[in-house]
Structure 1
Amino acid sequence: MNFYKKGTFILLLSLIMLLTACSNSGESSEANADESNEGTDNGDPITIGQINWPENIAVTNMWKVILEDEGYDVELTLADMGVQMASVADGSLDVSPEVWLPVQDKSYYEEFKDQANFAEEPWYDNGVVGLAVPEYMDDINSIEDLNENKDKFNGEIIGFEPGAGTMEVTHDVIDEYDLDLELVESSEAAMIQSIRHAVENEEPIVAPLWQPHFIFAEVDLKFLDDPQKTYGETEEIFMATREGFESDYEDVYKWMTNWELTEEELGDLMVDVQENEENPMEGAQKWVEENQDVINEWKE
């Protein structure tokens, strides 16, 4: 073999070795990428249902911050409770984070308990639901007082989105107490604005409300006594996930089942998010940064 041919052969051999090494390196990178995405459902975003309620906006944005900090892609899907539960049941939504039990969302639990996974433990255990009026309405302290004062309320209970568990229970309250008032459907934002306007002008208003809710920090309201306990007593808030979520996202599922908030923690989170209403993720990010010790407990 002459020098020229020998040099050409060595050059070709080197090129083949280089291409082989690059190919192996690419395969190795792909393998490492696959390994890093293991358990993330092939990189699909985690979808979390969101309802336009203050505590729901707060916790959904909190989880978006936490999970995106961990490298997950998270998509918040705005939908009412009925749509959320049906979507979790058919597998098109990963997480519905706010199921109130034993009363408010009982109908959804009964309908979908065999098609979705409901967490065994609540993430919040001190919820209160009922009809509320301004504190200055001294002569109205029970649901049983409403009929004789129906004209003060123009025969209306100012409600929010139809399909919400509390709205369904309020229909039951109207039936069980034989109330001669109509439940007006609107939105949570419109209901809150009506309450603010009424209190500012010291006018009568009655609305189905729940705690935790920031409106109780803004204006003085009181829950009406519910002798028949139609709204129940203490409500707990649970998470529901689609079938298979626990195996597709083992770590996330573990963190979410460990998730627990005290009244003070949830209140602070809601305030931070409310103060950043135009960009709720900023408020959630602030809370997450200040409560890493709480979050780390969920990740243990």
Structure 2
Amino acid sequence: MQPIKTALIGAVFCSAAAQVAAADSITIGTNNWAENIAVSHLWQLLLEEQGIDATLKEVSKPLLFGGLAEGDIDVSLEFWLPSDNSYLTPYKDRIELHGTWYDDALDALVVPAYIDDIDTVADLKAHAEAFEYQGQPTIFGIEPGSAIYEETETAIEQYSLPFRQLSSSETAMLAQLEEAYRRKEPIALTLWQPHWVFAKYDLKILDDPKGALVSGQQVKWLAEKGFDESHPGVAAMLDAWHMTPEQLSTLMLEIEKNGDPDQGAAQWIDDNRELVDGWLAADDDG
């Protein structure tokens, strides 16, 4: 009987060790948006402070939700409600939606504050010639398929704007902003808040009375089903997490200035130690 007993003890020990290992490591699904890069690296560093190995895995949005549903990704830190609902719907029984960490996020059309006489989306129509680029009035945007791209197309139609939307990467769009801002030239672009550019430039969010671009959104974190049970301490810390527009903008700007997300996030943590310690204190197992 002794060998059987030993085998059972060994099996129990291996099972317990596996559970500990699972609790001490998580995979965070990310994308290449500035705010997602910022908060993902922020939490990677904070979790590693707590002895938890956090791996960042960059995937497209459709693959992100599939990965969460299949358990290949443990958690993702950015879910915009209601804009991202269409991604969640096919997996709603296999993915858990968690707490809101940022309130009143929005998509918007934006111009520099030095541009007079343009305060609403409708105002763009009368000043279209000032925004010509390569012979056409242009709104600079990001890639087709993104929610803000589709919303901007809706705005162009609803407000009868004689504009095209020129899609590109976020980096290319912001390069156009930097050059126009340096020259004090007119430029219109799609932006969302939170974003670090609002901490760097004086920008004007155009009023959108038709509601073509979505505002008043909540940014939440989400996880594979059962995450609360498998990672209760991490879930408690993430539920305690909340950031204001100023806090998130300064985090992103610190990363932009450093040119490295880990260095920038580490500096921001040092500058905001009391704030982040409050999130970490929510770990019931800490």
TM-score of the two chains, using structure 1 as the length reference: 0.78
**Matching of residue 233 in structure 1 with residue 215 in structure 2:** yes
Of 96, 102, 125, the residue aligned with 1:147 is 125
Q: CA deviation at 1:282?
A: 1.9
Q: CA deviation at 1:113?
A: 3.2
Partner residue in 2 for 1:158 = 140
Partner residue in 1 for 2:107 = 129
Q: CA deviation at 1:232?
A: 3.5
Which secondary structure does the structure 1 equivalent of 2:191 belong to? strand
Structure-2 separation of matches of 1:254 and 1:273 = 26
Do the aligned partners of residues 151 and 113 (structure 1) sit closer, same or farther apart at CA in structure 2, a change above 3 Å counting?
A: farther
Q: CA deviation at 1:36?
A: 6.6
**Matching of residue 71 in structure 1 with residue 51 in structure 2:** yes
Of 26, 31, 35, the residue aligned with 1:55 is 35
Q: CA deviation at 1:246?
A: 2.5
CA distances 1:158-184 after superposition (whole Å, capped 9, x unpaired): 112333332232233233334333222
Of 182, 192, 207, the residue aligned with 1:200 is 182
Are the equivalent residues in 1 in contact too, given 2:102–2:218 (CA < 8 A)? yes
Partner residue in 2 for 1:272 = 254
Partner residue in 2 for 1:116 = 95
Partner residue in 1 for 2:268 = 287
Structure-2 separation of matches of 1:111 and 1:206 = 35
Are the equivalent residues in 2 in contact too, given 1:81–1:165 (CA < 8 A)? no
Q: CA deviation at 1:122?
A: 0.9
CA distances 1:65-121 after superposition (whole Å, capped 9, x unpaired): 01122222222122333332333233322222112223x3343344543442111x3
Structure-2 separation of matches of 1:112 and 1:151 = 46
Q: CA deviation at 1:39?
A: 4.8
Q: CA deviation at 1:197?
A: 0.8
Structure-2 separation of matches of 1:37 and 1:220 = 51
**Matching of residue 245 in structure 1 with residue 245 in structure 2:** no
Structure-1 separation of matches of 2:198 and 2:94 = 36
Partner residue in 2 for 1:107 = 86
**Counterpart of 1:157 in structure 2: which amino acid?**
I
Do the aligned partners of residues 197 and 39 (structure 1) sit closer, same or farther apart at CA in structure 2, a change above 3 Å counting?
A: same
**Matching of residue 209 in structure 1 with residue 209 in structure 2:** no
Which secondary structure does the structure 2 equivalent of 1:52 belong to? coil
Are the equivalent residues in 1 in contact too, given 2:197–2:253 (CA < 8 A)? no
Structure-2 separation of matches of 1:114 and 1:174 = 36
Q: Which 5+ residue runs of structure 1 have no aligned equivalent?
A: 1-23
Paired-residue identity, % = 35
**Counterpart of 2:95 in structure 1: which amino acid?**
A
**Matching of residue 175 in structure 1 with residue 157 in structure 2:** yes
Structure-1 separation of matches of 2:74 and 2:164 = 36
Q: Which 5+ residue runs of structure 2 have no aligned equivalent?
A: 1-5
Which secondary structure does the structure 1 equivalent of 2:212 belong to? coil
Moved >6 Å (runs of 4+) = none
Q: How does 1:37-48 map to 2 (within 5 A)?
A: 38-41=19-22, 45-48=25-28
Structure 1 or 2: larger strand share?
Answer: 2
Instruction: Figure out how many residues of one structure are paired with residues of the other and give that number.
Output: 269
Question: How much is the aligned-residue C-alpha RMSD, in angstroms?
Answer: 2.8
Which secondary structure does the structure 1 equivalent of 2:19 belong to? coil
Structure-2 separation of matches of 1:227 and 1:97 = 30
Structure-2 separation of matches of 1:210 and 1:59 = 16
